[in-house]
Amino acid sequence: MAASLAVASSAFSTLYRILAYAFLEVAPQSHLKYVLPVLYVAYVAASHYGAPAFSEFVAVKEESVTIAEKTETNGDVVADVVVSETTAIVPVVESPTLKSALATVLFSIPSPVRALRRANLAINTLLLFAAAEFIFFPYFDTASDVVFTRVGALYPDSAKIVVRYPSTNATENLVRVIWRQADDKTDSDAPWREGPVANLTAQHDWVQTVRLQGLWPTTHYEYRFQDINSTVLPYPSTPIRFHTAPDPRLHSGSYYRFIATSCMTPNFPYSPLGGRRLKGMDLLADYLWPSRPAAASVAVAQNVSETAHNTSAENITAPAAVNTTSSVESVAPTEFMVFLGDFIYADVPAYFGDDKEAYQRLYRRNYNSPSFRKVYERLPIIHTYDDHEIINNYAGQGNASLPPFENATNAFELYNTEANYDSVDEGQYYYDFRYGDAAFFVMDTRKYRSDIFSDDPATHTMLGDKQLTALYNWLGKVNNTAVFKFVVSSVPFTALWTYEGVIDTWAAFPYEKSALLSAFQSVPNLIVLSGDRHEFAAIEFESGDSGHNVLEISTSPLSMFYVPFIRTLKPRSEEVVNKTREEVVLLEDGTQEVIKHVDEIPRENVIRYIAEGNYKWASLEVDTRDYSHPVVRVEIMIDGKPAYHLEVVGKPVKLQSTTSLGALVPQSFKGVLDRIGLKPNKWF
C-alpha cells in the first residue's frame, strides 16, 4: 500500500507540473485554477502516507546473544549463553549522483533522500504560489491611484483626450487641458492656451474624455494639465504630443503607417512578480521608437518573405526581394493604432463576477502598466471590443440589458469608447473615419450578434439592421472618395478557422457574410483587419470574373498565449468561383487565336499563415503619393522580429475633387506666416 502511494505521489506531481506549466506559460485555461489545487493536495497526501521507493534490497543476517541466569541445585548461579541468528531485509541507500538527483527532482521520482523529497515539495509549492499570484494579482492590484492620459481620435481640426486624475478625500476633481502648437523637433516656445475642463468624479472612476478643438490639419500639438487655480499639475512631467489628421479634402497623397493588433493581458506568459508587465507593448515601443534608428531601419528592411498582391483581382506574384535601400532611406511615420478587441480578459484566468468595479479594475491595471504607458503616451489609439471585454463568446442579441453587458461596457466606454471617433448613430460602438486617402469602418461584432443555436440560420445577424445600413452607406460614400478602404472586425471574416472559429467568427453567420462579401467586392482596394484567433493569417477572397478581390489581415495576440502544435486554419475553402483566363495560340497560318479557359478558384485562399508567437502586430504603410500605383505595405512583427511582408498593389482610384476653401489654404496659419517670412512664435 505504501509503495503504491509513493508511485501515485510521483504521478500526481508529474501531472501537476505539466498542467501548471501549461497554465502559466502556454494557455491559461480557466478550469485549471480548480484542477491545480486538487492535484497539489493529492500529491502532498500521497507523499505523506506513502513510503519512498528503493531500487535494491539486501538480506542482512544478525546474531544476537542472550545471557540467561539460572540457579543450580547447590545454590550456585550459572550463566547460560544462548546464540540466535535473524535475517532482516533492508534497503540499500546510496548517495545519489548528480544525474540521478536531477532526474528525481525533474520527474518527481520517489527518493529515500529527504533533501530530494523536500526539493520536490518546494518546487510544487512554488508552482502553486505562482498560479495563485497569476490568478489573484488582478483582483488585489486595484490600481485605484493610477493617473494617465492618452490621445484617441484625431480629426483635422480636433483631437479627443482621455484623462484620469483621482483626487483624495473628494468626490470630484476639475482638471483643465492647456495646449499649444509644437515644433516637431525642438521644444516649443509658443504660449499655452486654455482648453476644455474635465470634470472628474468618483462616480465615473475619475475618467473623462474631452475634445480639444480649433486645431489645424497635419500639425503637431502638445498638451498638459493644470488645476482650476491655473497651477500646472505634476503629471505628465513632459507635455504629451500628437499630430492632427490631414484634411480629407486635400488629395495630395498619403504616406503614413498605423498598427493593427488585438488581445493582451499582463504577465502572460507568466513571470514571477511581473504582474503589471505587457511584454508585447515593450516590444512594440522598441519597434516604434528604437534606441538605434539606423540599425532598426536595417532590421525592418531584412525581409523574411515579401509577396506582391494586387487588389484588382490579379494573381499573386512570386516572392520578391525587398528593396532595402528605400526601407532605410524613408520610414513612414506611425500615426495611430487600431486595437481590435480583447483589451482586457475579464474571464481569464478567473472571472470575478458581473460587477462594475471588477471590470474597471482591469482597465486601470492595463493603464497602470509601465509597458503600456510607453506606447499610449506617444501613440494615439482607437478601439473596438470583443468577447473578453465581457465574457467568452458573448452574444448580445441586440439587448443592452443582457448581463453582463451593461457593467462590462460601462468600463469600456469610460476608458476606451469615448475616445473613439463619433458614430454616425449616436450611442453606438461602431464608427467610421478618414485618415488621408484611406477610409475606415470599425464594426461592433458583439452587441447585435444573434444566438446562433436558435431560430433559422438565415435570420442570424452579427451586425444588426442599423449597423448594416451604416456599413452599406459607408461603402457607397467611400467608393470614389478614398483610395484604400479598411473594414475592422474584431473576429475574422474568413470561414477557414475551425474549432471555436466555426461558432465565434463570421463563419457562424454565412448568409450575412455572403451578402457583405458581395458588397465588399464591388469596392476597389478593400482590406479587412481582424484579430481574436491568437494567430496570423493573410487571406484572399477571390471575386471571380467580376468585382475586386478582398484581402484580410488577421493579427493577434499582442501579448497573450498561442497554442503550439495544434493548427485550426484550413488552407482554402471548398467553395469555388469561376475565373476566366485567356491564352493566345499561334496557328499554322501565322494568325493568333485567343482561347478562353475557365478555372475553378477557391473562394477563400490562405496566402500566409503563422501560428507561433506570443507577441504579434501588423504595421500597415499606406502610400498613395503615386495615384497610378497606390500601395499598402504590410509588415507582420512576431516576438519583436519581422516575420512576413506583403505589398498590396491597389487599383488607381480617381478621387472626387473639391473646390472647398480647405483645399486652398496651407496646412496651418503658422505655415502661411512662415512662407512670407514672419515668425509668430517670436511675437509673444
Distance CA 302, CA 280 (A): 21
Domain boundary among 140, 169, 200: 140
Do 281 and 409 lie in one domain? The reply is yes
Where helices occur in 108-162 by DSSP H, the ranges are 114-140
Per residue in 43-66, pLDDT tens? 999 887 765 554 455 555 666 666
Report the pLDDT value the prediction gives residue 583, as an integer from 0 to 100: 85
Which tens digits make up the pLDDT trace of 9-18?
889 999 999 9
Are 498 and 645 in the same domain? yes
Whole-angstrom CA distances from 184 to 181, 221, 369, 425, 476 are: 9, 9, 27, 36, 37
Place of cell 465615473: 204
Query: Which helix or strand (DSSP H or E) is residue 540 part of?
Result: strand 536-541
| Portion of the chain with pLDDT greater than 70, in percent | 82
Last residue of a domain, one of 121, 140, 159: 140
Residue 423 is given by DSSP the state P
- Separation CA 17–CA 123 (nearest Å): 9
Cell triple for 324: 532595402
pLDDT surpassing 60 at residue 486: yes
591 pLDDT band, cuts 50/70/90, is: confident
| The residue to which cell 534490497 is assigned | 57
Listed range (14-23, 31-40, 72-81, 235-244) with the worst mean pLDDT: 72-81
Q: Is residue 217 part of a domain?
A: no
Residue 237 CA neighbour count, 13 Å, CB half: 0
- What is the per-residue pLDDT across 261-317, written as a single tens digit (0 to 9) for each? 999 999 999 999 999 999 999 999 999 999 865 444 434 434 444 445 554 433 333
Residue ranges of alpha helices (H) inside 272-369 are 279-288, 293-301, 324-329, 356-367
Question: What does the pLDDT read at residue 318?
Answer: 30
Residue 221 phi/psi, 5-degree rounding, is -135, 165
State the sign of the Cα–Cα–Cα–Cα dihedral 485, 491, 496, 502.
negative
- Closest to 113 (Cα-Cα) out of 94, 126, 90: 94
32 within a domain of the structure (yes/no) = yes
pLDDT band per the 50, 70, 90 thresholds, residue 668: very low
CA 314 to chain centroid: 32
Asked if pLDDT for residue 80 goes beyond 90, the answer is no
Statement to judge: residues 494 and 640 lie in one domain: yes
Residue 354: count other Cβ atoms within 10 Å of its Cβ.
Answer: 16
- State how far the Cα of 463 lies from the Cα of 516, in Å rounded to an integer: 11
Q: What pLDDT shows up at residue 665? A: 41
pLDDT, mean of residues 477-498: 97
Q: Which of 140, 159, 178 is the last residue of a domain?
A: 140
Residue at 470 is within a domain:
yes
Question: Does one domain contain both 374 and 521?
Answer: yes
Q: What angle do CA 313, 317, 319 make, to 5 degrees?
A: 145
Q: Which three cell numbers stand for residue 553?
A: 489581415
| pLDDT for res 112 | 74
**Is the pLDDT confidence value at 93 over 60?**
no
Cα 273 to Cα 129: distance, rounded to the nearest angstrom = 11
Total domains, the chain: 2
3-state helix, strand, coil in the chain (%, to 5): 30, 30, 45
- Tell me, what's the pLDDT at 7? 83
- Residues 162-200: b if buried by 16+ CB within 10 A, e if exposed: bbbbbeeeeeebebbbbbbbbeeeeebebeeeebbebeb
Residue type for position 381: I
Instruction: Answer whether 0.75 is exceeded by the pTM.
Output: yes
Range 371-404 burial, b when 16+ CB lie within 10 A, else e: bbbbbbebbbbbbbbbbbbbeeebbbbeeeeeeb
* Residue for grid cell 444573434: 450
Residue with cell 475592422: 488
Q: Could you check whether the bond before residue 349 is cis, i.e. omega within 30 degrees of 0?
A: yes
Q: Which bin fits 65, alpha (ψ -120 to 50), beta or left (φ > 0)?
A: beta
Q: Specify if 537 maps to a domain.
A: yes
Higher pLDDT among residues 343 and 455, named by residue: 343
Mean of all residue pLDDT scores within the chain = 87
pLDDT for the residue 48: 78
Query: Which has the minimum average pLDDT: 51-65, 159-173, 500-514, 565-579?
Result: 51-65
Per-residue pLDDT tens digits for 182-219: 976 666 788 999 999 999 999 999 999 999 999 999 99
Give the gyration radius of the chain's Cα atoms.
33
pLDDT at position 674 is: 44
Interval 622-642: pLDDT, tens? 999 999 999 999 999 999 999
Average pLDDT over residues 119-125: 94
Q: Is residue 77 part of a domain?
A: no
- Indicate if the pLDDT at residue 451 is higher than 60: yes
Mean per-residue pLDDT, 88-93: 59
Positive or negative, the Cα torsion across 185, 189, 190, 196?
positive
Kindly indicate the confidence band of residue 664, based on its pLDDT and cuts at 50, 70 and 90.
Answer: very low
To 10 degrees, what angle do helices 114-140 and 98-107 make?
40
**Does pLDDT of 130 surpass 50?**
yes
> What is the layout of strands, in order, in the sheet containing 438-442?
431-435, 438-442, 484-488, 526-530, 550-554, 536-541, 604-610
User: Which domain CATH number covers 351?
Assistant: 3.60.21.70
In this structure, is residue 480 part of a structural domain?
yes
Q: CB of 40 within 8 A of CB of 47?
A: no
Q: How far is CA 328 from CA 184, 279, 323, 325, in A?
A: 21, 26, 9, 5
- Whether 265 and 126 map to the same domain: the answer is no
Decide if 469 is inside a domain.
yes
In the three-class reduction of DSSP (H, G, I as helix; E, B as strand; rest coil), residue 381 is classed as strand
Give the end-to-end CA distance of the chain in Å, rounded to a whole number: 91
Confidence of residue 97 (pLDDT cuts 50, 70, 90): confident
Choose the weakest-confidence range: 99-103, 134-138, 421-425, 435-439. 99-103
Mean pLDDT in residue range 308-331: 42
**Residues 135 and 258 grouped into a single domain:** no
220-233 pLDDT tens trace:
999 999 999 999 99
Angle subtended by helix axes 114-140 and 2-21, to nearest 10: 40
Residues 132, 262 within the same domain:
no
- Which pLDDT value is given to residue 285? 98
Name the band, by pLDDT with cuts 50, 70 and 90, for residue 609. Answer: very high
Q: Which 3-state string (H, E, C) describes 358-378?
A: HHHHHHHHHHCCHHHHHHHCC
Q: Whole-angstrom Cα distance, residue 194 to residue 177?
A: 6
Q: Which residue has the higher pLDDT, 97 or 338?
A: 338
545 C-beta neighbours (distance < 10 Å), count = 11
DSSP H helices in 388-544:
405-415, 464-478, 501-504, 510-520
Residue 31 resides in a domain: yes
Find the domain containing 550 and state its range. Answer: 253-571+603-653
**What pLDDT digit, counting tens, does each position of 379-438 carry?**
999 999 999 999 999 999 999 999 999 999 999 999 999 999 999 999 999 999 999 999
pLDDT for 302:
41
